[in-house]
Amino acid sequence: MADVMVAMSGGVDSSVAAALLVNEGHNVVGVTLKLWGGASDSGCCSVSDVDDARRVAQQLDIDHHVFNFGDDFDEFVVNPYVADHQAGRTPNPCVECNRHIKFDRLFRRADALGFHLVASGHHARIAEETLDGAMVRRVARGADDAKDQSYVLHMLGQTQLERLIFPVGGYVKDDVREVASALGLRTATKPDSQDVCFIHSVGGREVFLGDRIPLRPATLVDSEGLQVGQLESIEMVTLGQRRGLNLGGEDHRRYVIDIDHETATVTVGEREALLTAVQRVENMEWSHQPEAGRFGVQTSAHGRVQGAEVEVLDDGLTVVLSWDQPQQRVAPGQSVVLYRDDAVVGGGIAGVALRPTAPAAS
């Protein structure tokens, strides 16, 4: 049996992850990360979550510690989130939290305390294959399609995967709650947390960003360049957006098809104008090594997988996707993840999507 550090968020998944490892006979220590010091009502990063994790650890008779990574969270998650909105990108803070905090900063703390193995309550699995005589590990989809979190774990490479455990990855959520109930864990019926822990439901993104950066009004124009409205903040707009455009009374839907931050102009049009045959993806991170060929591609946490032919450019950090069928352009800043069957091959950040008539990048 091994010494295992378990990240306990105060939710049911990480509670059951710790319980399963205890039942297997491992020497388990629970840790909770204190990340956000502001107001939170999302079901994560709050004082009550720390207390829930601590009390579950008491029920399991394991040690529990709280690590304050608030400064790192501000530096690597919150501040880039604000900067991305200001620059016209659509960030994914959960991906950045996993990249910089949960699977970097926490791992360094585990090393300092002598823990080789780290576990979490993510709904994902680790797939293994042998390539050229060497063991290669990849993040794979969890058993519960509706709760699968492999998309937000796409950045994990061999160094992390050889020491990671996802105890609930083979369970559907209902079974996780049944285990928690059978063990009498206080988190058994606790609601799932929301995606962005630092955005409060009162005021939402607009108040959060408005307290940190000046929000600029934008002119709303149609595809012919004619003004059709005004928006309070260009920083609140994302590519493909339909709601919140104040275009009430129209008998057809219009979407944001272009955002020009330099001139503070937002163009709306038909959905067809969002479609592209070719999508550029930058800052690629590979589970093993760069790979070209045919892959399933996911462009949002619970989006449908679409087929594409993938070309890897010379730097290995940029790929160009040629979609089987034209797809909606991905908002710059969002994650794009490549799958072979259920396993993640790599993922990166959406760059500029090329229009159907444009030649593919080379």
Catalytic residues: 97, 197
- Six-digit token string for 23: 């039942």
Distance CA(114)–CA(64), nearest Å, equals: 16
Q: Please state whether 49 falls in left (phi above 0), alpha (psi between -120 and 50) or beta.
A: alpha
Helices (H), 45-196: 47-60, 70-73, 79-87, 93-97, 106-112, 158-161, 173-183
**What are the residues facing 55 on neighbouring strands?**
none
Q: Are 349 and 305 in contact (CB under 8 A)?
A: no
Strand pairing class (27-34; 3-7)? parallel
359, exposed or middle or buried, with CB in 10 Å at 0-12, 13-18, 19+?
exposed
Q: Is 360 helix (H, G, I), strand (E, B) or coil?
A: coil
DSSP H or E run through 208: helix 204-210
Query: One-letter amino acid identity for 327?
Result: Q
